[in-house]
Amino acid sequence: MRRKNKRIMVTGGAGFLGSHLCERLLEQNKEVLCIDNFYTGHKQNVIHLMDHPGFELIRHDITFPLYVEIDEIYNLACPASPIQYQRDPVQTTKTNVHGAINMLGLAKRTGAKILQASTSEVYGDPMIHPQPEAYWGNVNPIGLRSCYDEGKRCAETIFFDYHRQHGVPVKVMRIFNTYGPRMHPNDGRVVSNFIVQALQGKKITVFGNGNQTRSFCYVDDLIGGMMRLMNTNDTITGPINIGNPGEFTIRQLAELVLEITGSRSTVEYLPLPQDDPMQRRPDISQAKRLLDWQPTIQLREGLERTVAYFDRLLDDQPTSVPMKSALLVD
């Protein structure tokens, strides 16, 4: 018998996206079980939730089975930036594949609905623009990014096989570049790196000529789309793109960050990393039609909120945050 208030498990719940999701679920009077091994997540992201009566935190690596009773699972656990997922590529693949198998096994046993946080990286360096869900992608299966790209593609495969073979109710969303408060200042994502570099008066590191394009979705919009997908009827499985279709070059992003921060930093151009996609923009037609969802927060507004967050974060730290080179992907 289901509980009056759903008990919802969020893997990767102490991460950037996971912590925002936990917060939003608690606002809706759900019981939240936050699972994280703290490889890239941080307890500080959820410390303000620890006294909430509906919140529980368990330190656990989902590459190992977990035996709990839950009603829904949001599977967000996985390093999501190149610096993080290339640090231990074998573990990244295990998290994507073994983690998906373990969470699907839990969903099968408990009858829980389960959502997989997939990624726009399944499209690789796309030959179709913008990218619709029907596009199969252009991915290097043996490159430096493959642990993440192919790991997420394999996770999608396993999700749909469990759905077809065992009747597990699944949801798959493909997340496009997302930004906002609680991003780690040194995780290698382009928005956080540009902001921190600008606030510290360091050179803005742009890879290639800066003409690569990305679409940037503010975290509040993304979480809204994620929850809307989970709460649709079970016939809507996805995959569904969730992101902001506004398209900007990396050079435009750098210029906007410099304008908002008022920084005098200059831009430094560096060689393009292996397999870095040249274009990335979601076709969100399905999200509009099936979920009645589209983003509402535009890039300038979202960046202003994110700059304010990092400004406070850096002011609270006794020394400047050491920066690594910025890569241009999720």
What does each of the 330 residues of the chain score in pLDDT, given as a tens digit? 456 689 999 999 999 999 999 999 999 999 999 999 999 999 999 999 999 999 999 999 999 999 999 999 999 999 888 888 888 999 999 999 999 999 999 999 999 999 999 999 999 999 999 999 999 999 999 999 999 999 999 999 999 999 999 999 999 999 999 999 999 888 888 999 999 999 999 999 998 888 889 999 999 999 999 999 999 999 999 999 999 999 999 999 999 999 999 999 999 898 877 767 788 899 999 999 999 999 999 999 999 999 999 999 988 765 444 444 334 434
Give the active site residue among 74, 85, 123, 148: 148
Neighbours of 99 (CB within 10 A): 24
b/e for 161-192, b at 16 or more Cβ within 10 A? ebbeeeebbbbbbbbbbbbbbbbbbbbbbbbb
The pLDDT, as a whole number, for residue 275 is 66
Structure tokens belonging to residue 58? 């368990």
Q: Measuring CA to CA, which residue among 35, 290, 243, 236 is closest to residue 123?
A: 243
Domains along the sequence of the chain with CATH: 7-176+219-242 (3.40.50.720)
The DSSP code for 103 is: H
Q: Is 148 a catalytic residue?
A: yes
Q: What is the pTM of this model?
A: 0.91
